[in-house]
């Protein structure tokens, strides 16, 4: 018995040493990434992977603005061929947000590791390994991909390298303004997961979404600025900035709407306005405060049934001077999926004049119910584009999808 116990002891020590070594490698890798110049993150990462993780090579793929392809990040100008999200192993890893392994010619294996930051999906790290990784090595790669994601977000403040890599074509000036205004394309924590998408991605004008979370609340807004192009982008930028200013001053939902309304009216005198739906979730109870100032619609998927959540529609922001807004409310339950769509979705028409309408929208919401919230938003936009039979959308479209989990206590 004592001999058997002594025989087991070295293996435990070896395992602890192995895990400690993996931790040390991660610490060194994270320090190297933090110390790297913003434009050199991938060179530093590849060097660390080759030296400390014994890999044969690595590559970063970033999702484009339309979420159709993954763009290899190369030195400017970017000339590498994009990879389809729908039909590739890298795309499957991005969609499912889990690591996938695939054999490569020779004696190696490719690991496709999602790169995301707090639910915002950025792309996929492709690592070529000499052998199939064990669970510990796989977790180490996933932790390293998460660290890379955080560094990419910081690096984008100081270099255009990664922003340029994400675009398949040049953005219009209006689209540039709108994408820079967004908080991200996804966000997740214990109580909820949400994602949003804009279309047409490269020429979007006046539609936008925004969100912000605190310890107790989540605020979500979806806006549809009047007009198109640069004028619509300027209008929406003013409205979103005014809403953020009021929110960051600690004001409630009604006061946020009132101050944004005054800011838009002061600038445009009622000639331009912004239709906006404002939502404020109490994370502990599931109560949702609402100010419906215009055209975005909220649909709820509960127990397999899709229904429009009706509100008393009030005046869009900036239409009249000193509009007084009223807050309404409803409750969400664990398992609910909420989908907010702008009028570019629920009033869309095909090239032959047919209305997209509630029937098609309800169907795609049900059909995409098993997809994660960010992927469901993309699926709805994809369905809308297919409905237009390859022609340009007649109006901007925004979709925000939120899955409500609720707190443990709730």
Is residue 14 scored above 80 in pLDDT?
no
**Average pLDDT of the chain?**
89
Is residue 218 scored above 90 in pLDDT?
yes
pLDDT at residue 114 in the model: 98
pLDDT at residue 389 in the model: 67
98 close to 145: Cβ distance less than 8 angstroms: no
> What is the average per-residue pLDDT within 182-206?
92
**CA 155 from centre of chain:** 18
Cα distances from 248 to residues 241, 253, 265, in angstroms, run 10, 11, 21
What confidence tens digit (pLDDT) does each residue in 393-404 have? 777 889 999 999
* Percentage of residues of the chain with pLDDT beyond 70: 90
Please choose, from the candidates 281, 410, 256, the residue with its C-alpha nearest in 3D space to the C-alpha of residue 340: 281
Q: What are phi and psi of 303, to 5 degrees?
A: 55, 40
Give buried/exposed letters for 125-142 (b at 16+ CB in 10 A, else e).
bbbbbeeebeeebbebbb
Instruction: Output the pTM of the full model.
Output: 0.88
Euclidean distance between CA atoms 355 and 344, whole angstroms: 11
Is residue 39 scored above 80 in pLDDT?
yes
What confidence tens digit (pLDDT) does each residue in 145-168 have? 999 999 999 999 999 999 999 988
Beta-carbon contacts of 405 under 8 Å, excluding residues fewer than 6 positions away, are: 190, 191, 192, 193, 334
Is residue 9 scored above 80 in pLDDT?
no
What confidence tens digit (pLDDT) does each residue in 334-372 have? 999 999 999 888 777 766 666 777 778 899 999 999 999
Euclidean distance between CA atoms 64 and 316, whole angstroms: 32
pLDDT at residue 32 in the model: 93
pLDDT at residue 17 in the model: 41
pLDDT at residue 16 in the model: 40
Cα distances from 196 to residues 63, 258, 261, 348, 400, in angstroms, run 14, 25, 24, 18, 4
pLDDT at residue 77 in the model: 67
CATH of domain 14-164: 3.30.450.40
Please choose, from the candidates 219, 233, 91, 132, the residue with its C-alpha nearest in 3D space to the C-alpha of residue 176: 233
**CATH level 3 topology of 171-404:** Phosphatase 2c; domain 1 (3.60.40)
What confidence tens digit (pLDDT) does each residue in 67-123 have? 999 999 987 666 688 999 999 999 999 999 999 999 988 778 999 999 999 999 999
What confidence tens digit (pLDDT) does each residue in 238-280 have? 999 999 999 999 999 999 999 999 999 999 999 999 999 999 9
DSSP helix/strand/coil, 369 = coil
Tokens at residue 2, please?
């004592």
pLDDT at residue 295 in the model: 81
Euclidean distance between CA atoms 126 and 113, whole angstroms: 6
Is residue 22 scored above 90 in pLDDT?
no
Kindly write down the DSSP assignment for every residue of 317-342, as one continuous string: BTSSTTPPP--EEEE--TT-EEEEE-
Domain residue spans of the chain: 14-164, 171-404
What confidence tens digit (pLDDT) does each residue in 298-348 have? 999 999 999 999 999 999 999 999 899 999 999 999 999 999 999 888 777
Helix or strand holding residue 113 (H, E): strand 108-117
pLDDT at residue 351 in the model: 67
């Amino acid at each position: 018995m004592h001999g058997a116990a002594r025989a087991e002891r070295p293996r435990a020590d070896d395992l602890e040493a192995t895990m400690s070594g993996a931790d040390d490698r991660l610490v060194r890798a994270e320090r190297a990434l933090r110390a790297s110049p913003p434009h050199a993150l991938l060179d530093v990462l590849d060097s660390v992977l080759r030296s400390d993780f014994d890999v044969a090579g690595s590559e970063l793929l970033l999702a484009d603005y339309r979420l159709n392809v993954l763009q290899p990040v190369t030195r400017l100008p970017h000339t590498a061929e994009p990879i389809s999200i729908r039909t590739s192993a890298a795309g499957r890893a991005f969609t499912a947000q889990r690591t996938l392994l695939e054999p490569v010619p020779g004696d190696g294996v490719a690991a496709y590791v999602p790169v995301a930051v707090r639910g915002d999906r950025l792309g996929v790290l492709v690592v070529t390994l000499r052998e199939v990784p064990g669970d510990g090595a796989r977790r180490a790669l996933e932790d390293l991909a998460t660290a890379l994601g955080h560094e990419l977000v910081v690096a984008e403040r100081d270099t255009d390298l990664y922003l340029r890599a994400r675009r398949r074509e040049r953005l219009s000036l209006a689209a540039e303004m709108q994408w820079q205004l967004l908080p991200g394309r996804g966000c997740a924590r214990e109580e909820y997961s949400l994602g949003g998408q804009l279309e047409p991605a490269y020429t979007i004008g006046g539609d936008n979404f925004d969100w912000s979370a605190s310890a107790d609340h989540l605020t979500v807004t979806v806006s549809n600025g009047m007009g198109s192009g640069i004028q619509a982008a300027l209008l929406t930028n003013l409205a979103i900035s005014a809403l953020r200013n009021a929110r960051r001053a600690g004001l409630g939902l009604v006061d946020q709407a009132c101050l944004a309304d005054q800011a838009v009216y002061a600038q445009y005198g009622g000639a331009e306005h912004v239709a906006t739906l404002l939502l404020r979730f109490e994370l502990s109870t599931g109560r949702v405060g609402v100010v419906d100032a215009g055209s975005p619609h909220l649909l709820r998927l509960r127990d397999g049934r899709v229904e429009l959540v009706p509100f008393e529609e009030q005046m869009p922001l900036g239409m009249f001077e000193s509009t007084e807004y009223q807050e309404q409310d409803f409750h969400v339950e664990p398992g609910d999926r909420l989908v907010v769509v702008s009028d570019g979705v629920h009033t869309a028409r095909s090239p032959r004049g047919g209305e997209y309408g509630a029937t098609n929208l309800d169907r795609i919401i049900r059909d995409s119910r098993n997809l994660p919230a960010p992927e469901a938003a993309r699926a709805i936009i994809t369905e809308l584009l297919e409905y237009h039979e390859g022609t340009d959308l007649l109006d901007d479209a925004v979709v925000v999808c939120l899955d409500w989990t609720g707190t443990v206590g709730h």
